[in-house]
Every structure is written in structure tokens, then in C-alpha cells.
Amino acid sequence: MTRPTAAQPRDEGAVSAPVRLPMTYVLPLRAHDDDGLDELTGYLRELSRWVDVVVVDGSPPELFARHAGAWRELVRHVPPDPALHGRNGKVLGVLTGVALARHEHVVIADDDVRYDRPALCAVHQMLDGVDLVRPQNHFDPLPWHAWWDTGRTLLARTFGGDWPGTLAVRRSTFLSMGGYDPDVLFENLELVRTVRAYGGSTATPAWLYVRRLPPTAAHFLGQRVRQAYDETARPVWLLAALAVLPAAAVALATGRPGLLLRAGVATVAVAELGRRRAGGTHIFPAHTSLAAPAWVLERGLCAWLAVARRLGGGLPYAGARLRTAAHPSRVLRRRMTRRRPDDLVLWVEAGAMPPPLRAEV
């Protein structure tokens, strides 16, 4: 797919303010404290000049009230629809926000994603041709743990594309297919697979970079097994991760540590291919490729811990336990034959959620 130009039309009578794009930006949120509130408010203020913004806020009441006061003049600030049920609160926020969207083109983004206007323009133009767009995130600033995780990003870019904290969809497609399952962990993969199972088209523009704020080091460390668990939805990737530690052990046991060195060099080379793809050298510093071997070893360890969690019944998530990372495409295609395509449309029009239809495991 050719890269669209990020045109930025302006109102002839108002030079100071760009014309708002016909898009809705949905931000599902569940905050536990006020850290970063001022920075997020500044971002929402700028964002609201460009697009319609809906913040679906599942935060505790005292934080919800604080957010309402800070964002009253900037965005539509709403709680998740109580008619919706599911264990993944982010998905419930997305379902609520897309239903409330005023435009056909909808951006869905985590609270640490930071779009600029050219990226929004590019997404807007791409949604004229496809049902779903998967941009590429990059961390800025780049503390040690973001550098470490960038090794994963570069490897993923080599093999098709990273999984970012943001997607963009056509609202009509999203509603017609009935949304997506709110009881999965890897919700972005679930949404992409659901769109494809419905017959929709997707794009992963490797050149479309969207900034992402790094998490705290403590949050990063706490997510290692959680992110490895996502690979239970991608068996080939899971098997590759599970093979890392046994392969390293065999190399050491047979007195061939040089194999590990060569494997590390090869991993850096593969990551470098991802860094050089689609102008990535202007986004990712050269040294980030060196993080790839460290990340591979980490994933090799955490994959075994994730399998243990799976055998133990799933992963704890927001007070519940989720076993499914994402459903196989064949299951989602079968699901589509059992639900009328316009069920979620009828729910939006009637104000009542249809009986939930879960994908079979």
C-alpha cells in the first residue's frame, strides 16, 4: 500500500487553529493514581483541537470525578456502559467508545500513546481504503527498560509488524461485526483477527510511527510474564520462545558456547533489519538492535512461566482470571456464522446489549 500524504487542511478564516478531522479518538482508561494527569490533560487539550475525543473512564469514583473536572471542556468523558459485561475492562471501554463515536473513522489508543496531527491524518486517509490500521509505536524517551523492549519491537517489525498500543477502525465495520470478545488478554490481536474473520481488510504500515511514553520500570517488570502469555495465542511464536532455554542449555552442556555468541549476533542482525525497515533508522537509535538478544532470553524464560500459568487456569487480570489470550481465526470465523452481523448496531439503536456470544475455546 502506498503511503498517503498527511494533508493538513486549515480554515482560511482561522489561521491559528487547524480544521478538525472527521475522526473520533477513543481512549479507554483505568487510572489508579494521579501520576501523569497534568501531562495527559495537556495531550488531550491538543488532541481535542484536531479530532473528537471520547475518554471512557473506568477509574475509581474519586479519580473519575477529578478527571471530569480536568477534562470537562476538552473531551466527552464517560464511564463504561453498564450494559456491557466482560473481564477485560479495556475492551469494555472500546465497545462503549466506538458506540458513542460520531465519525466513521475511529482511533483506539492507550493512555500512553501520543499521536501527532500528521499521524492522525495518515490514519484517516488509510481508513478510506481498509477496515483497520495498525500503526507502529516507538518509545520516547528511552530509559533502560524501554530500550530493552525496543529489541522486541525491532524483531517484530522484521516479521511483519509490532503490536502497538493503538489501532484504528471503521466504525461501521466494528459495529456490523458485533465488536469483539471482552474476555481475552491480547485484545488487539483479537480485534485484528475478528475484523479479518468478518471479511474486513487490515493494513500494518511500517512507516507510520506513533510515539509512546515508556512505563515505569516497576510496571515493565510486572508485565514480563503477562506479555509472554500473549504468545499462547500464537503457537509458532510460543514454541520458538520455549526452545530458547533448552537450546542454550544444550550448547553449554556440549561445550559449544560459541553457538550462543553466533545466535546472539544473528539476533542482532535480524533486529537491525527491522530497524532499517521503512525509515526506522530515523526513529530507533542504532544501539537498540543490541537489546534483541537480551529480550529473547527474557522471553525464553517467561514463556515457560506463562505456560505454567496457562496450565494453572490462566492469568490474574483486574481481579479476575483470564485463560484465553486471543481466539484462533477459525473459531472467530465460526462465531461470525452464529451472530447476525448487525447485532451491535441494533444494541446501539435500542440501548440494550444483545445476549453475549462468546467465542468457543
Q: What residue type is assigned to position 252 of the chain?
A: L
Q: How many Cα atoms are found within 13 Å in the side-chain-facing hemisphere of 344? A: 22
Q: 186, 122 in Cβ contact below 8 A?
A: no
According to the model, what pLDDT value does residue 192 have? 98
Give me the residue label for grid cell 553449554: 252
pTM for this structure? Answer: 0.89
Rg (CA), the chain: 21
Q: 157, 136 in Cβ contact below 8 A?
A: yes
353 compared with 161, residue with greater pLDDT: 161
Which residues lie below 8 Å from residue 166, measured CB to CB, with a gap of 6+? 107, 108, 109, 110, 113, 115, 135, 137, 210
Q: Is the pLDDT of residue 346 over 70?
A: no
For the chain, which residues make up each domain, given as ranges? 23-217+327-350, 219-321
Q: Give me the chain's average pLDDT, please.
A: 92
- pLDDT band for position 89 (50/70/90)? very high
Q: What residue type is assigned to position 250 of the chain?
A: V
Give the residue-averaged pLDDT of 145-157: 99
Q: Give the pLDDT confidence of 235-262 residue by residue, as tens digits.
A: 999 999 999 999 999 999 999 999 999 9
Q: Is the pLDDT of residue 166 over 60?
A: yes
The CATH homologous superfamily for domain 23-217+327-350 is Spore Coat Polysaccharide Biosynthesis Protein SpsA; Chain A (3.90.550.10)
Q: Is the pLDDT of residue 335 over 50?
A: yes
Q: Is the pLDDT of residue 6 over 70?
A: no
Q: Report percent pLDDT > 90 for the chain.
A: 85
Q: DSSP characters for 172-197?
A: HHHHHTT---SS-S-HHHHHHHHHHH
Cell of 91: 475492551
Cell of 50: 484536531
Give the residue-averaged pLDDT of 273-295: 98
Q: DSSP characters for 41-76?
A: HHHHHHHTTTSEEEEEE-S-HHHHHHHHHHHTTTSE
Q: Is the pLDDT of residue 12 over 80?
A: no
- pLDDT band for position 18 (50/70/90)? confident
56 compared with 358, residue with greater pLDDT: 56
Cell of 298: 527474557
Q: 135, 178 in Cβ contact below 8 A?
A: no
- pLDDT band for position 284 (50/70/90)? very high
Give me the residue label for grid cell 462503549: 96
Q: Is the pLDDT of residue 63 over 50?
A: yes
Give the residue-averaged pLDDT of 126-139: 98
